[in-house]
Amino acid sequence: MTATPDPAAWSCPAPLRDQPTVVLGHGGGGRLSAELIEHLFLPAFAGTPLAGTLAELGDSAVLDLAPGVRLAFSTDSYVVRPRFFPGGNIGDLAVNGTVNDLAVSGAVPFALSVGAILEEGLDLEELGVIATTMGAAARAAGVSLVTGDTKVVDAGHGDGVYLNTAGIGLAPAGLELGPGRIRPGDAVLLSGPIGLHGIAVLSVREGLEFGADIATDSAPVTALTQALVGGGADLGVSMMRDPTRGGVAATLNEMARSSGTGIEIIEGAVPVPEVVRAACGLLGLDPLYIANEGRVVAVVRPERAEQALAAMRGTAVGAQSVRIGTVTDEHPGVVVARTGIGGSRVVDLPLAEQLPRIC
């Protein structure tokens, strides 16, 4: 029998977290990010009329505007380096990223704002390509770019282009998703292969050749999430997330911690493309921690798992969906991977991201 890890018996690595200044890890989606939000932003923003919403800390806020009118609202900034990479650029990433944050809350995104911070000296032709890519991505995702703002900072500040998109979408009335619905026994589903976005960006940034075609999987997931929760579908979905910064590992850890349950995954069940596996082997990275931008992790009731998987596989973006694990009442708040040789390892929330500035 394999031992169940006992987190209480571990000795923690030396804390790196009492530094008085911002470090790259504060933007990495790991523990440092979580601490910055919990200890700095949340107390500062407390006491505003809808503060209860913020406390839920999802990727989107969901607000009841009027009877039957439920609005999801989300924002993300994009500082990816380099701005162009195989399969995409910062423009479609900025559209898909915010579309997907709304989509996994169960909403149908319909409008985005665009805030651009440009660096003096940026080539206008390059900006034109990025804007055109944003327009195409918006049309593909069925959303409109309805309002915007442009600021310019002096040469040497900024990195050519930083983009922010905020988005709004309509969520089905009566739909309740979130960690509070996750129960032991629930199935953990993943919509397809992982790591392609992060490795695609990395390959250009570091000038690496992995000897194979690689391209970001950046794509809108609204069709997939709506197949699960839209139009009155009752597929027993407890919660959905898109595993971006920090990868599938960070998403599963967030789900486990916020729901107070444990999650067990079968490592061999997680689809990792050969090129991602090779690149990770070369660089000493773990594919579970690599960022994605067209993937969904969905937790669903066990009796609906096969039906939910079929619905996911019926969409183009989810054709390779698989079940990767199960929610358990053992090791609450901890994610464990069963390995191929019968062992198990803890899949911890990283302190920061392995690869900064992938999105």
CA distance 283 to 249: 18
Q: Beta-carbon neighbour count of residue 189 at 10 Å?
A: 23
Of 111, 208, 278, 283, the one binding a second copy (CB under 8 A) is: 111
Q: Does 241 bind a second copy (CB under 8 A)?
A: no
Closer by beta carbon to a second copy, 75 or else 307: 75
Nearest CB to a second copy, comparing residues 28 and 262: 28
Figure out which of the listed residues 22, 212, 282, 310 binds a second copy, where binding follows CB under 8 A: 22
Q: Map residue 79 onto helix, strand or coil.
A: coil
Binders of a second copy in range 69-98 (CB under 8 A): 69, 71, 73-79
Among 6, 45, 234, 319, binds a second copy (CB under 8 A): 45
Q: Which stretch binds a second copy (CB under 8 A): 27-35, 196-204, 232-240, 322-330?
A: 27-35
CB of 204 to a second copy, least distance (A): 17
Closer residue to a second copy (CB): 81 or 304: 81
3, with CB counted inside 10 A (0-12, 13-18, 19+), is: exposed
CA 358 to chain CA mean position, Å: 12
Q: Choose between 138 and 327: whose C-beta lies nearer to a second copy.
A: 138
Q: How far is the CB of 234 from a second copy (least distance, A)?
A: 24
Shortest Å distance, C-beta 33 to a second copy: 6
Among 84, 118, 258, 313, binds a second copy (CB under 8 A): 118
Q: How many residues bind a second copy (CB under 8 A)?
A: 88
Rounded Cα distance between 284 and 278, Å, is: 10
Tell me which stretch binds a second copy (CB under 8 A): 50-58, 291-299, 301-309, 332-340. Answer: 50-58
Residue from 14, 50, 316, 341 touching a second copy (CB under 8 A): that is 50
Nearer to a second copy, 143 or 240 (CB): 143
Contact flag: residue 135 with a second copy (CB under 8 A):
yes
Identify residues 52-71 at the interface with a second copy (CB under 8 A): 53-54, 58-61, 63, 65-66, 68-69, 71
Note whether 320 and 192 are within 8 A (CB): yes
Residue list 145-204, contact with a second copy (CB under 8 A): 145-154, 156-159, 162, 164, 166, 168, 170
For 45, 345, 350, the CA distances from 28, given in Å and listed in that order, are 21, 23, 9
Task: Look at residues 94, 219, 92, 227 and name the one whose alpha carbon lies nearest to residue 167.
Answer: 94
Q: How far is the CB of 351 from a second copy (least distance, A)?
A: 14
**What are residue 161's phi and psi, to 5 degrees?**
-140, 125
Name which position in 7, 82, 121, 180 contacts a second copy (CB under 8 A).
121
Query: Smallest gap, in angstroms, from Cβ of residue 173 to a second copy?
Result: 11
Residue 252 to residues 25, 204, 249, 284, 346, Cα–Cα distance (Å): 19, 28, 5, 21, 12
For a second copy, the binding residue among 93, 104, 134, 291 (CB under 8 A) is: 134
Three-state secondary structure call for residue 67: coil
Place of tokens 């930083």: 162
Give 88's strand partners: 85
Closer residue to a second copy in complex, CB, 204/322? 204
Write the DSSP assignment of 227-285 as a string of letters. HHHSTT----EEEEE---TTHHHHHHHHHHHHHT-EEEEEGGGS---HHHHHHHHHHT-
Can residue 33 be called a binding residue for a second copy (CB under 8 A)? yes
Q: What angle do CA 113, 115, 120 make, to 5 degrees?
A: 155
